[in-house]
Amino acid sequence: MDGLDDIVEEFLVESHENLDQLDSDLVALEQDPNSRERLSSIFRTIHTIKGTSGFLAFNRLEEVTHVGENMLSRLRDGELDLTPTRTSVLLQMVDSVRSLLTSIEASGGEGPVDVSGVVAAITAAMEDAPAAPAAVIPAPRAAPAAKKAPAAKKAPVKKAATAKTTARKATTPRAKATAPAAPAAAPLDDAPVAVLADELPETVDVHPVVDAFSDHAEESEAAPAASGDGQPRRAVADSTIRVDVDLLDELMLLVGELVLTRNQIVQNVARQTDTDLIRASQRLNLIASELQEGVMKTRMQPIDHIWSKLPRVVRDLGLQLKKSITLEMEGRETELDKTLLEAVKDPLTHLVRNSVDHGIETPDERRKAGKPAEGVLTLRARHESGQVVVEVADDGAGIDPAKLGAKAVQRGLVTADALTRMSPADILQMIFLPGFSTAAAVTNVSGRGVGMDVVKTNIESIGGTIEVESEAGRGTVCRLRIPLTLAIVPALTVECAGDRYAIPQISLQELVSLDAEKAANAVEEVGGAQVYRLRGELLPLVRLTDVLGLTSERHDGHVVIAVLRSEGRRFGLVVDRVINTEEIVVKAVGGQMKAIGLYSGATVLGDGTVALILDVQALARRALRTETTDRQDSQKAAAHAAAASETERQRMLLAAIGGGRRVAIPLDTVTRLEQVRTDSVEKVGNREVVQYRGAILPIVRLDRHLGAYGESDREVLEVIVYADHGRSVAIVVEEILDIVDGEAAIRSDIDDLGLLGSAVLGDKVTELLDVRAAILAADPAFYNTPAIPAQMTPEGATTSLLEV
Amino acid sequence: MTAPTDIKAPATSGQLATFRLDGDLYGIEVEHVQEVLRSQQLTRVPLAPSAVAGLINLRGQVVTAIELRERLGRPPRPEGTDAVVIVVRLHGEAVSLLVDSIADVVDVDAKDFEAPPDTLEGQARDLIRGAYKLHGQLLLALDVQKAVSA
């Protein structure tokens, strides 16, 4: 066994803490036997341990907690009174649980701990109702012991705990090495023996409680000494500390303030000349950043934390339902605030169970549908636009909107009339209505009509959203969007009508700045809506001033576009100017601001002014007409279809070669783009070369080669360094234009020397360069002979280059 | 104005922080008032309700500023005069009110209290709990909760 399973480890940490609490609770309970609250708390703790141990297949642990739970539930319900006897058997139960946990931690198994004694004792104590005369005999014997127990307990238990802790320290590494032999772990060190041995008699027999405790105390004292020279490796429970999330929140707030203050200082110091001050401010800058990162990290946990439990859920459920399912996970390292992580745990588990139960079909059905028998359930997590997007996708039967609609009508959730007016996507969202379940049969997994609405409520309670997409026969995707509140986010600050606004960097794709002349040509109108051609794709433009009902202060015709992406849609936000990128702290705004639905919050900028943070999603929803969405959807669908039908799409580099001609070069073979001064071009025979990274790079001028006429008197040449099969060559073009997705399909075979053909790329006819041929045509001898004079190329590297 | 010292303060009464707005005297419960500031730089909030004057930076905290003149249906503050900012704290959230000037803290007596005068109209009527008859002046008690929920 390689270390403890994560789940087991977590269970141990949690249980140890709970047990410490339990000890004091039980003792306190004896003073105040009627405290329902305390009883309930104890009950919950034991119940939790029982539940988890059952899940993890620790049977003895389950057994002992089970009887304990029985007794506690009767105590809680007032069916039994808490007598000292019962308190002491409960304490014994706690001790057995503790020794079982110790053994589990040391060896991964329950080891030799025997629980039958304590189980019997508890059962006996439960029968031992005050009215029952049969119980009179054992009671007085047990009672004095128990009376002394609390007193004895208070002191030794603490020591025992220490002893156990140190014992764990001492044994863990060795135990791991020798595992899985649990008994073998015991003789390795005195400490565990002490712990196990003194608890065993006590658990077997109710009466010698006091003796056992005194032993316990002595041996416990010995234990630290024994482990004094022990290994320094920390035990599971000691390597972490629990910190109140509130405290972390507070720290986070303070760090946020520090970051803002830092921004202000850095901004002010930039105007100073005092070098010491500047240096100090730089250090402050660095330290504040690191501190910020550190504090953020304390709250962040990879989503794997909750995902790691899912393979088992899927496996067990799959077996139970006789389905064969592979679980795939993408983005398991995506980090999420701890609080949010906890909040999505249950909804996510539910979605996964749902997918397994309803989504993925049985192997037979799948085969009939022409799909592989094994279903695939995919979990994806990623950061998008300041949110964490978590998807649960299956390749199952999907949801049929027609069936779903009929069901909804049948359940009276919607009228038949209303249904006809709903789009398929809207119909799908009805699965989130309370009281909706589409499962034909109620299984014990799901289908009771609670679930999706609860999932939705849970997600929305943390400010997230959930949406479902499904294609009948192809599968279903449930997408959760979870906000990253509290976070310090990098943002772009822009100016609009004299005010500054912050745009979370995560929604920002690129910035485009057009001068008046270019803007006049490049910004076009389509049916009253402004668009910009961004690399051939129409980018809908949204003027921030229009959205906000303000008047732009920019009158020089320049257009600054922030290209944003929201929910898969891309649009350009036109702002007056771009100011800066800055780390901002998201501050909550009052309810009135939220109700506007355009701002996700506000922040304080470096100079102390308040800036509103734009909610890009809301902005997109508000500003983009539905038709734009539809069009983009159909485009996306077309793109999908294209991608499915032919995988030949290629990224192409577009370059102008003069004379208005454009060529495309496959991007995957372009090593880099360089600029070369014309005066560094040297001649070798009638060929041009340039020194490049210690090698000699032959140059091909495309304009000459393809018969275009370019300007030959440029000072700087734009060069595409092209590598093919380990050989390199520099291709000189007039201007690098763009990178586009080339569509192999629209090639025409109008070709010319040095061309593969032509295609429409970015709405213009573009020549597809045959690189090999181009070089050949320019210099046929170049490929055949390693003809470059040897004196030019002493290095081996060049030789290979010349073999091109 | 001077604090009317002859007013006894029975248990049902309390202290009001008073301020002036368009010539009238208003008061809010002193326990709601967190602090009073001079005019602050405001960041306007496009599309917000008209009573929202903007956001201010209160030592790193972003606080909404409500223009009380607008809220009470009074004419805008004359050009060249600065507003005074009263920061109130309600349910743990800070909100600020823009008023003309701040006046004293006044002890008020429940027996001087009367329902809002019938002459009060419109939105103002909803926001005024009533009036305390002070010497030579009426003190209008503002319902802070309602006033800030613009």
- How does pLDDT run across A349-372, given as a tens digit for each residue? 888 888 888 888 888 888 888 888
Among B98, B106, B100, B102, residue whose Cα is nearest residue B139: B106
| Max avg pLDDT among A380-389, A445-454, A619-628 | A380-389
Torsion over CA: A726, A729, A731, A736 (sign): positive
Cβ contacts of B147 on chain A, cutoff 8 Å: none
Contact yes or no for A610 and B55 at CB 8 A? yes
d(CA A56, CA A52): 6
pLDDT of A723: 63
> Contact, A741 vs A663, CB < 8 A?
no
d(CA A599, CA B45): 9
User: Which residue on chain B is closest to A548 by alpha carbon?
Assistant: B46
pLDDT of A642: 47
User: Which residue on chain B is closest to A593 by alpha carbon?
Assistant: B48
Rounded mean pLDDT of A747-753?
Answer: 57
Contact yes or no for B60 and A604 at CB 8 A? yes
Rounded mean pLDDT of A739-768?
Answer: 64
Amino acid identity at A20: D
Residue A597 backbone class (left: φ over 0; alpha: ψ -120 to 50; beta: rest): left
pLDDT tops 70 at residue A753: no
d(CA A209, CA A404): 64
Q: Domains, chain A, ranges and CATH?
A: 6-238 (1.20.120.160), 245-302 (1.10.287), 304-483 (3.30.565.10), 489-630 (2.40.50.180), 650-802 (2.40.50.180)
More confident residue, A254 or A800: A254
pLDDT per position as a tens digit, A184-210: 333 434 433 333 333 433 333 333 333
Rounded mean pLDDT of A699-710?
Answer: 73
Strands lying side by side in the sheet with A727-733: A670-677, A716-724, A727-733, A695-701, A687-692, A682-684
Using pLDDT thresholds of 50, 70 and 90, give the confidence band for residue A623: confident
pLDDT per position as a tens digit, A292-321: 778 877 777 888 888 888 888 888 888 888
Least confident of A536-545, A556-565, A763-772: A763-772
Using pLDDT thresholds of 50, 70 and 90, give the confidence band for residue A711: low
Rounded mean pLDDT of A165-179?
Answer: 39
Using pLDDT thresholds of 50, 70 and 90, give the confidence band for residue A133: very low
> Contact, A212 vs A181, CB < 8 A?
no
Using pLDDT thresholds of 50, 70 and 90, give the confidence band for residue A235: low
Both structure tokens of A540: 């809908």
pLDDT tops 80 at residue A572: yes
Contact yes or no for A602 and B55 at CB 8 A? yes
Average pLDDT, chain A: 71
> Contact, A305 vs A338, CB < 8 A?
no
pLDDT of A190: 40
Residue A702: CB atoms within 10 A of its CB come to 27
Q: Is A254 on the interface with B (CB under 8 A)?
A: no
Contact yes or no for A604 and B49 at CB 8 A? no
Nearest by CB to residue A610, choosing from B57, B93, B95, is B57
Burial profile A488-500: b = 16 or more Cβ within 10 angstroms, e = fewer: bbebbbbbbbebb
Give every CB contact of residue B11 below 8 A, 6+ residues apart in sequence.
none
Long-range contacts formed by A75-80: CB under 8 A, 24+ apart: A75/A39, A76/A36, A76/A39, A76/A40, A76/A43, A80/A126, A80/A129
pLDDT of A774: 67
pLDDT per position as a tens digit, A73-104: 888 777 777 777 787 888 888 888 888 888 88
pLDDT per position as a tens digit, A3-40: 456 777 778 877 777 777 777 777 777 777 777 777 77
Using pLDDT thresholds of 50, 70 and 90, give the confidence band for residue A782: low
Nearest by CB to residue B41, choosing from A550, A590, A609, is A609
Rounded mean pLDDT of A60-67?
Answer: 84
pLDDT per position as a tens digit, A579-591: 888 878 777 777 7
d(CA B150, CA B148): 5
Give the distance from residue B60's alpha carbon to the nearest chain A alpha carbon, in angstroms.
7
Residue A423: CB atoms within 10 A of its CB come to 9
Using pLDDT thresholds of 50, 70 and 90, give the confidence band for residue A225: very low
d(CA A39, CA B120): 59
d(CA A511, CA A428): 36
More confident residue, B38 or A641: B38
Contact yes or no for A604 and B55 at CB 8 A? no
Cβ contacts of B54 on chain A, cutoff 8 Å: 610
CATH number, domain B14-148: 2.40.50.180
pLDDT of B87: 94
Both structure tokens of A269: 């110091």
Contact yes or no for B64 and A593 at CB 8 A? yes
pLDDT of B20: 93
Give, rounded to a whole angstrom, the gap between the first and last alpha carbons of chain A: 55
Using pLDDT thresholds of 50, 70 and 90, give the confidence band for residue A676: confident
Angle (nearest 5°) at CA A539 between A509 and A422 = 105
pLDDT of B25: 92
pLDDT of A201: 38
pLDDT tops 50 at residue A131: no
Rounded mean pLDDT of A255-277?
Answer: 83
For the question of whether the overall pTM of this predicted structure is more than 0.90, the answer is no
Among A470, A411, A460, residue whose Cα is nearest residue A438: A411
pLDDT per position as a tens digit, B53-112: 999 988 778 899 999 999 888 899 888 888 999 999 888 788 999 999 999 998 888 888
Using pLDDT thresholds of 50, 70 and 90, give the confidence band for residue A650: low
pLDDT of A385: 58
Query: What percentage of residues in chain A have a pLDDT greater than 90?
Result: 4
Q: Is A384 on the interface with B (CB under 8 A)?
A: no
Both structure tokens of A405: 């609609």
Average pLDDT, chain B: 83
Give the distance from residue B42's alpha carbon to the nearest chain A alpha carbon, in angstroms.
8
Least confident of A336-345, A464-473, A723-732, B134-143: A723-732
Contact yes or no for B43 and A548 at CB 8 A? no
Q: Is A587 on the interface with B (CB under 8 A)?
A: yes
